[in-house]
A and B are shown apart, each in its own frame.
Chain A
Amino acid sequence: MLPNLFFGYFAIVMVVLSLLIITRRNPVHSVLWMLVLFFHIAGLYLFLNAEFLAAVQVILYAGAILVLFLFVIMMLNLKEEITAERFIGEWPIGVALGISIIMLVYFALSKFIQGPVGQYTIEAINKETHTKTIGRVLYTEYLFPFEIASLILLIAIVGAIVLAKKRG
């Protein structure tokens, strides 16, 4: 009963927050609703016993990436942004796209088959703490994808520096 109540709260609030984010005219307000949304995502992770992911969600997304978003948005000329006409007025196309995506999700979910219970059950994770488990899996089983991801990030950093550097 209680887990369902918690999940229901998070699911409903997250959907409402997502709608608020995309319907605000003022982009700063959108970002602030997004901050609340990130907290709910972190809460959902906690609810799934993924305490490390929850902390990282707040530190990286809420604490760093979103602040940078805010940093950029605050530099925009908001007075124009708020009064500007919307770019796309094609409501029928949007509604049709939305409905087809919902149908796609529905058909995908209706074929859902629960997989077998793996090695990392909740009890096993609780025994050696979530942080340790995720660290071990990341640096042994998934070392190669992990290194590829870090390489991609490194290329992005180098690219940003090259773009920002003054020429000549």
Chain B
Amino acid sequence: MNIAETILFTGSSNWILNIVFIIIKIAVVIGVTMLHVMYATYFERKVIGHMQIRLGPMRVGFHGVLQPLADMLKLFFKEDIIPADADKPVFKIAPIIPVFATLSSLAVIPFFEGFVIAKINIGLLYLFAMSSLGAYGVVMAGWASNSKYSFLGGLRSSAQVISYEVAMGLSLVGVMIMAGSLNLSEIVKAQQQYWYGMYLIPQFIAYFVFVVAAFAETNRTPFDLPEAESELVAGYFVEYSGMRFALYYAAEYIGMIIMSSIAVICFWGGWTLPPVIANTIPALAVVPGIIWFLGKVYFHIFLYYWVRATVPRYRYDKLMALGWKVLIPLALANIVVTSIVKYMS
């Protein structure tokens, strides 16, 4: 039986009902994610504001809670300017690619027990595939804008994303070896056999490599060289305005949510609690898994803000040296050690 038949004819005999059900699931996931994106921008400004002893947005609504709505309206009605010498089709398609790639990554993420849009065996590889596409949006924007700043940003980004993708992929190989599966739900379940219920402890090197690589993959500080406001103005999206600019912004935040979700699923036990806590306080079983999942994701998103407010931007050669000379050897060593331990036991 092939994929098309699997989608259409398995499960309930009524395949129209199946498709409607899947579409509702997709709509809910995308809706909730976009809401998170809106408020992730608000909390970023608030968190960084308070870390720098400012208040952050205060004007729109109580303590500025309606600020994301105001921003969205503004971006929606802004004029869409396309530079005269730009490659128009590529310029127009470029911002759609990262949004498409990050939103389709959501399809394989299990948010809580049994809730996942597409339960596929190669979930983790699919996530890699989608995150590697994000680079195209940046490179194409940099090239199509026909501007030196954009072009430099695009070149930097393509080199950076390719380098850190290797480190990120290798860091998760340890998790794959321990879980013996690429299916994200099974990776979560495999972590329950330990009393601490997460791979964070045996795989702490992999976790470190993954988090650093995730910062670089999402172009966040301290690795935001493709944007680098102080040298490249805004890097690859300097020529973008209005809704297209907003798409890049949205893609960056969805990317952060995806990376945080991968970290939570692969290292923090996903929607589960560590068995030692769940067994000592049985009352916690009534709390739905999505609460734990979101709590862990929020922590990782906070980590992004925290680092942004703390660490200055890397120099470009240092960034490449860190990726190739520190993170990749560390990840490789972790794979060797994990394999030996798994083989021995």
Instruction: Among B8, B121, B158, point to the contact of A67 (Cβ < 8 A).
Output: B158
Query: Measured between alpha carbons, how far is A129 from B123 in the docked complex, in Å?
Result: 13
Query: Measured between alpha carbons, how far is A68 from B163 in the docked complex, in Å?
Result: 11
Q: Which residues of B contact A129 (CB under 8 A)?
A: 121
Given A2-B4, A6-B4, A71-B155: A28 in contact with B132 (beta carbons within 8 A):
no
Given A2-B4, A52-B125: A64 in contact with B90 (beta carbons within 8 A):
no
Q: Which residues of A contact B140 (CB under 8 A)?
A: 32
Q: Which residues of B contact A28 (CB under 8 A)?
A: 87, 90, 143
Stretch at the interface among A43-51, A98-106, A140-148, A150-158: A43-51
Q: Which residues of A contact B165 (CB under 8 A)?
A: 63-64
Q: Is the CB of A2 within 8 A of B8?
A: yes
Given A32-B140, A49-B2: A74 in contact with B151 (beta carbons within 8 A):
yes
Q: Which residues of A contact B120 (CB under 8 A)?
A: 51
By secondary structure, the B interface counts as helix
Q: Is A21 part of the binding interface, using a Cβ–Cβ cutoff of 8 Å?
A: no
Q: Is A115 part of the binding interface, using a Cβ–Cβ cutoff of 8 Å?
A: no
Q: Is the CB of B4 within 8 A of A59?
A: no
Instruction: Among A32, A64, A70, point to the contact of B132 (Cβ < 8 A).
Output: A64
Chain B residue nearest to A48 (CB atoms) is B2
Query: Measured between alpha carbons, how far is A29 from B125 in the docked complex, in Å?
Result: 27
- Interface size bracket, A side: 20 to 34
Interface residues of B in 93-133 (CB under 8 A from A): 120-122, 125-126, 128-129, 132-133
Q: Which residues of A contact B87 (CB under 8 A)?
A: 26, 28
Chain B residue nearest to A122 (CB atoms) is B1
User: B149-175 vs A: 1/0 string, CB under 8 Å?
Assistant: 001001100110110010001000000
Q: Is B5 part of the binding interface, using a Cβ–Cβ cutoff of 8 Å?
A: yes
Q: Which residues of A contact B155 (CB under 8 A)?
A: 71, 74
CB distance from B136 to the nearest CB of A (A): 7
- Interface size bracket, B side: 20 to 34
Query: Measured between alpha carbons, how far is A55 from B176 in the docked complex, in Å?
Result: 15
Interface residues of B in 1-21 (CB under 8 A from A): 1-5, 8
Q: Is the CB of B4 within 8 A of A47?
A: yes
Query: Measured between alpha carbons, how far is A64 from B159 in the docked complex, in Å?
Result: 10
Q: Is the CB of B121 within 8 A of A70?
A: no
Q: Is the CB of A62 within 8 A of B133?
A: yes
Q: Is B139 part of the binding interface, using a Cβ–Cβ cutoff of 8 Å?
A: yes
Q: Is the CB of A67 within 8 A of B136?
A: yes
| New A-B contacts (4) at CB < 8 Å, excluding given A28-B87, A59-B128 | A46-B3, A59-B132, A67-B136, A74-B154
B contacts, CB < 8 Å to A? 1-5, 8, 87, 90, 120-122, 125-126, 128-129, 132-133, 135-136, 139-140, 142-143, 151, 154-155, 158-159, 161-162, 165, 169, 182
A-B contact pairs, 25 of them (CB 8 A): A3-B2, A29-B90, A48-B2, A51-B120, A51-B122, A55-B125, A55-B126, A55-B129, A58-B132, A59-B132, A62-B132, A63-B128, A63-B162, A64-B165, A67-B135, A67-B161, A67-B162, A68-B162, A70-B158, A71-B159, A74-B139, A129-B121, A130-B121, A130-B122, A131-B122
